[in-house]
Each structure stands twice: as C-alpha cells, then as structure tokens.
Amino acid sequence: MEDLTYCARELPQEQLEQVFTQGNLEPFIKAVLRSRSRRSDDWDEERRIYDIAVMLADLSLSKCANYLQDADVDYLQLAARDLSQARLWMKVAGIPNLEKKRRT
C-alpha cells in the first residue's frame, strides 16, 4: 500500500493516467469491499467494510460537490448541496443502523 501511495503522489500525470484508471481500480475496490465471511453476524468485518465504504464515498462526494459547486448552472449547484447533505447523513445515520442490524 505504501508503494501505491508513493506512486499516486510522485508519478508524472502521464503515468498516473495509465496506472490509476477506473478499469484498474474498480476490481481492486470491489474486492476490498466484498464480504468474505460466511457468517451474517461478523460485526468486525461489517464495520471494516462500512468504514472503508464511507471513507471512499465521503472523499468522492466531496470531490464531486466541489466540481459542481463552481458550475454556472443552478441545478448543478443544488446537486452539490445534496451531495454534501448525503455525506453528512452517511456519517450521522450509518453507525446506529449498523448497530441495530447487529442486535437483530
């Protein structure tokens, strides 16, 4: 992971465009977010996957909102606001829902 982080920070743009593509990253991200446990009550795994998913969504929604917020079109600015609200609700509502799921 340290090598990938280093590459993402230090490689020139031309190489980044070849290495870090949607096609290359999607299988990796799907594998990281895939549940491996056969038990439906594996709280540690559920929490690990949820935390990673929220982190990815938070970073992604933030980036999308920043692009849309600067748009000249009103509906894109509204979309940016909705993305910001979605980020907040993920953080506020997500953990209690997982806790409830764990107890049932």
DSSP string for residues in 44-67 = HHHHHHHHHHHHHHHHHHHHHHHH
45 and 72, same domain (yes or no):
yes
Report the C-alpha gap between 12 and 50 in whole angstroms.
32
86 and 54, same domain (yes or no):
yes
- Point out the residues of the chain with pLDDT beneath 70: 37-41, 68-69, 71-73, 75-77, 80, 90-104
Question: Are the C-beta atoms of 87 and 58 separated by less than 8 Å?
Answer: yes
Could you tell me the residue range of the domain that residue 44 belongs to? 40-104
53 and 98, same domain (yes or no):
yes
Question: Are the C-beta atoms of 94 and 50 separated by less than 8 Å?
Answer: yes
How many separate domains does the chain show?
2
DSSP string for residues in the chain = -HHHHHHHHHS-HHHHHHHS-HHHHHHHHHHHHS---S-TT-HHHHHHHHHHHHHHHHHHHHHHHHHHHT-SSHHHHHHHHHHHHHHHHHHHHHHHHHHHHHH-
The pLDDT of residue 75? 67
68 and 23, same domain (yes or no):
no
96 and 63, same domain (yes or no):
yes
100 and 66, same domain (yes or no):
yes
15 and 54, same domain (yes or no):
no
The pLDDT of residue 97? 53
Give 32's contacts (C-beta < 8 A, 6+ positions apart): 52
15 and 61, same domain (yes or no):
no
57 and 23, same domain (yes or no):
no
